[in-house]
Amino acid sequence: MPASDRGMNDAFNRELERERDHDRHELSQSVQTNVPLLNPQQKEVYEILMKVVDEGNGGLFFLDTPGATGNTFLMSLIFATIRARSGIAVAVASSSIAATLLEGCRTAHSALKFPLNLQTIEQPTCNIAKNFAMVKVFIAAKIIICNECTMTHKRALEALDRTLKNLRKDSRCFGGAMILLSDDFRQTLPVIPRSTAADEINACLKSYNLWHNVKKFQLVANMRVALPNDPSAEDFCKQLLTIGNGLVPVDKSSGFISFPPNFCNFVSSKDELIENVFPNMIANHKNGEWLSERAILAAKNKYVDDFKFCNSECNSWYSAFIQIC
Ligand SMILES: Nc1ncnc2c1ncn2[C@@H]1O[C@H](COP(=O)(O)OP(=O)(O)OP(=O)(O)O)[C@@H](O)[C@H]1O
């Protein structure tokens, strides 16, 4: 078969069309429904950020969002507002689990082609050639959201800055694009193999040389507590903030903290953990809704590999979980 004669323009336009291919009516309705629900702080941030989007002057913004303060809710609303007006909004996240939180979000490494060895390159750029199909999308984007950004290496931001200046032929920061970072620095910092705590702090976005120029906003009202369906959430959220703010004493000999009383349920074995999270797995393993409500998270891949499953009937399911987790 002769090769089809498709120019690069086709690929560019396909990506642009895909980014604009949303049900604008449905998005407008969702915006109309959700804007009145915003709490005063969320509303203030939403209005400021949408004004920046409308003015089109770009800039670097950071939204500090402790757990459950409505980061996902607000990001989704900003996304929907821009898309409902046929604008292009790009969302990336530092991990694939985090990318599932926002519609159309991809991992930063996949969408922006960051080099894999960021920590060893002094002046990295994204591996985006000018004929890369997403280039027009990055040029046209009203906003680039980097969700759950605290795990991102500061050099990723440097690479994005260099690349956008080059693609958009604009010497302003990030080529004049609007970049919105969001997350909570009480959570995980960049993971650097065989590093010290100092290496992680040095790699963190707060060590980025333009960090002092970032315009910062904060959400503080915990919406899971405000919603009436979870009375235990208030204590749990306070405990999380206490740990995140470094207020729980560290044991000098071990370097560990002790969890506050009633913080969580402890189990004594992996089997007990699995039985608690996935009770009666054999009966439930084909129930997608039941499965989507539970997960076991592990801090390291080696702990994931340690999970051994012996039940042949749903062995394949167990394996699938562990990969996802
Ligand atoms: N203004 C609001 N009106 C109604 N519900 C809201 C509002 N803001 C947030 N919520 C709800 O509160 C819960 C927590 O919000 P959301 O998931 O957006 O927070 P988050 O900061 O992303 O939390 P986490 O980091 O813990 O995932 C969700 O169920 C969300 O739908």
**pLDDT tens, residue by residue, 33-65:** 999 999 999 999 999 999 999 999 999 999 999
The CA distance from 253 to 266, in Å, is 23
Q: Is 221 in the pocket of ligand 1 (CB under 6 A)?
A: no
Using CA atoms, how far residue 120 sits from 116, 125, 193, 203, 280, in Å, is: 9, 13, 12, 11, 47
Interval 246-264 mean pLDDT:
87
Task: Give yes or no for a contact between 38 and 10, defined as CB atoms under 8 angstroms apart.
Answer: no
Q: Is 46 in the pocket of ligand 1 (CB under 6 A)?
A: no
The CA distance from 51 to 82, in Å, is 11
The CA distance from 248 to 242, in Å, is 6
Report the percent of the chain where pLDDT is more than 70.
Answer: 89
- Domains of the chain: residue spans and CATH: 8-221 (3.40.50.300), 231-324 (no CATH)
Helix 71-84 × helix 24-34 angle, to 10°:
140
The CA distance from 295 to 298, in Å, is 10
Tell me what pLDDT residue 215 has. Answer: 96
pLDDT digits (tens, 9 = 90+) for 229-240: 666 777 888 888
Q: Which atom of ligand 1 is nearest to the CA of 184?
A: 25
Sign of the CA dihedral running 34, 36, 39, 42: positive
Using CA atoms, how far residue 94 sits from 109, 127, 324, in Å, is: 8, 17, 15
Q: Can you give the pTM of this predicted structure?
A: 0.83
Q: Is 97 in the pocket of ligand 1 (CB under 6 A)?
A: no
The CA distance from 72 to 147, in Å, is 9
Q: What is the ipTM of this complex?
A: 0.97
Q: Is 67 in the pocket of ligand 1 (CB under 6 A)?
A: yes
Q: Is 68 in the pocket of ligand 1 (CB under 6 A)?
A: yes
Residue 139 has pLDDT above 70, yes or no: yes
* 268 CA distance to ligand 1 middle (Å): 32
Interval 75-84 mean pLDDT:
95
Interval 72-101 mean pLDDT:
92
Task: Give yes or no for a contact between 222 and 237, defined as CB atoms under 8 angstroms apart.
Answer: yes
Cβ-count burial 228-249 (b if 16+ within 10 Å, e if not): eeeeebeebbebbbeeeeeeee
Listed residue (181, 177, 186, 187) closest to 205, CA to CA: 181
Residue 313 has pLDDT above 70, yes or no: no
> For all residues of the chain together, what is the average pLDDT?
86
pLDDT digits (tens, 9 = 90+) for 17-32: 888 888 999 999 999 9
Using CA atoms, how far residue 232 sits from 107, 205, 263, 265, in Å, is: 33, 33, 10, 13
* 119 CA distance to ligand 1 middle (Å): 33
63, 64, 73: residue to mutate for ligand 1 pocket, most atoms within 8 A of CB: 73
Residue 178 has pLDDT above 90, yes or no: yes
